[in-house]
Structure 1
Amino acid sequence: MPPLVDLTGKRGLVIGIANEHSIAAGCAEAFAQAGARLAATYLNDKAQKWVAPVTEKLGIEWTAPLDVREPGQLEALFEEVRARWGGLDFLLHSIAFAPREDLHGRVVDCSAEGFALAMDVSCHSFLRMARLAEPLMNEGGALLCVTFYGSERVVEHYNLMGPVKAALESTSRYMAAELGPKGIRVHAISPGPIATRAASGIDRFDELLERSADHVPVHERVEIADVGALAAFLASPAARRITGTVIPVDGGEHILG
């Protein structure tokens, strides 16, 4: 009997590897271990030196620059997917951004420009990717994004990213409904606190991380490998009847007040 999570021959695009400790890196490793063919992006030339060791270690077939704020880069990426592979089976969106001055202040004080930029990079880019991936997923597929429980309850210092992640989760549900008839499934994965470079931008995140292991039922911190295991399952045919969900991988923290 083949393994439950089998991505042999599946073509996957991983957006958001920053370094070996990033959530996207943990997911990419799980995808690779399940047999997937992978491509990945790096933000810019400065970031490439941190991403290259991960992609080389995992045997990722090709990489490309992607800053979703730069006009034309996202379209060029998906054109390269079409030219190289002719199709796509799954995609992981694991990027988020908010200007520091807006992220570290009160939500009610955030600027219109900062709010719009955070929404564009962290949420609307997922819609843009879905629109470009849709014609490449003629036999169905899976679109995955990464969220956080600060979307549904107030987490101190998470601030602006709370409303942004709430929008991302709602977006994933509407996408699931609209793309479901084409066999394209959509999920938002919600990890507990993990020490990543992106998380370090949140004010006093180290305190949240320190409390997490003691607070959750399993008394263990979530690791990027835990997120990767879930992502690989959701991208696989084993999850073909699951869509439109926000799935926690947080040691049970979501059940607590």
Structure 2
Amino acid sequence: MPKSSDWLGLGGKTFVVMGLKNRKSVAWHVAKQLAEVGARCLFVVRTEERREEVRKLTEDAPVYVCDVRDEASIEALGQSIHEDHGTVHGLVHSIAFANYSDGWKPFHETRKDDFLEATGVSAFSLVQVANALKPSFADDASVVTISISTTTMAAENYGYMAPIKAALDSSVVFLAKSFSAFSHVRFNGVRAGLLKTSSSAGIPGYVDSWMHAEKATLRKAGLETQEVAATTLFLLSPRSSGINGQGIVVDAGMGSNFFDSELTGGS
């Protein structure tokens, strides 16, 4: 039974969580908060090596391996979860990939192979995994993906990932419409501002970007990963039943504070 303090109504429910890497991950903070309200997490990682690492964090929670570059691997994930657990009440899609091994390049020099690979992992995987889990989803399941606060500001060091996140944001809308033909499954995105995660550390010049973002927030303090996780929990819950096909910006007001005197040098 759900805990009496479970205002969100998530207690006793089962959620698939993709993207756990370490304790800095958005996925970790989501899973931690889900556990606090009595929900159960099924974790999905890319490799067997990562599964062994994640098991040190997740204790007895099930950890599945799925490489979203491989369609057969995604289909096998869906079958395994359905056979092992039957019904799941939601999916947290917190995965992304970009090849920054050659360092920063102007957007017009983006390699086609890099762009397509990043699109497959970061955006189209949401479509594929949602489809694979379709037989397991409760009729009112909720799917939440983690995006970025804006895809129309040309942050040069982020390279080609903003256009790919734009594709992810659009996919949320079309999945919400598509699934509405046969279910009440909802799809939403949390569009997060800059965070201190291990993945973001791989972006060229990210530390400088994060420091600027911290000054740009209305509160003059950087966005915390647990704040993104809390919004994710709300969207997973029946308390957000009227929200579907949306992207919720969580950036501590950064997007409305471009002309702050501290940034412009004014008085």
Equivalent residues of 2:107, 2:156 under 8 A apart: no
Larger radius of gyration: 2
Contact 1:194 1:209 in 2 (8 A): yes
Residue 254 of structure 1 corresponds to: 255
Q: Secondary structure at the match of 2:255?
A: helix
Q: In the alignment, is residue 233 of structure 1 matched against residue 226 of structure 2?
A: no
SS at match of 2:80: helix
1:126 aligned partner: 126
What is the correspondence of 1:31-70 to structure 2 with a 5 Å cutoff? Answer: 31-56=34-59, 60=61, 62-70=62-70
The superposition leaves residues 156-184 of structure 1 with CA deviations (integer Å, 9 ceiling, x where unpaired) of 31111010001100110111122234111
Cross-structure match for 2:13: 10
2:88 aligns with 88
In structure 2, list runs of 5 or more residues that go unmatched: 259-267
Structure 2 CA distance for partners of 1:17 and 1:6, relative to 1, 3 Å: same
C-alpha separation between the residues in 2 aligned to 1:92 and 1:196? 17
Q: How many residues align?
A: 254
Give 1:101 deviation, angstroms. 4.7
TM-score (structure 2 length as normaliser): 0.89
- Mapped partners of 1:179, 1:19: distance in 2: 32
Backbone CA RMSD of aligned residues: 1.7
Deviation per residue, 1:56-84 (Å, 9 max, x gap): 2xx53x11112212342211111111011
Aligned equivalents of 2:162, 2:103: Cα separation in 1: 10
Provide the rounded CA distance (Å) in 2 between the counterparts of 1:215 and 1:68. 35
Distance 1:49 1:80 in 2: 19
CA distance in 2, matches of 1:89, 1:23: 19
After TM superposition, give the deviation of residue 252 of structure 1 in Å.
1.1
Query: Using the alignment, how far apart are the partners of 1:24 and 1:225 within structure 2?
Result: 10
Distance in 1, matches of 2:86 and 2:103, equals 39
Question: With structure 1 as the length reference, what TM-score do the two structures score?
Answer: 0.92
Give the distance between the partners of 2:249 and 2:240, measured in 1 at CA: 16
Instruction: Write the letter of the residue equivalent to 2:67.
Output: D
Unaligned runs of 5+ in 1: none
Report percent identity of matched pairs. Answer: 26
2:200 alignment partner in structure 1? 199
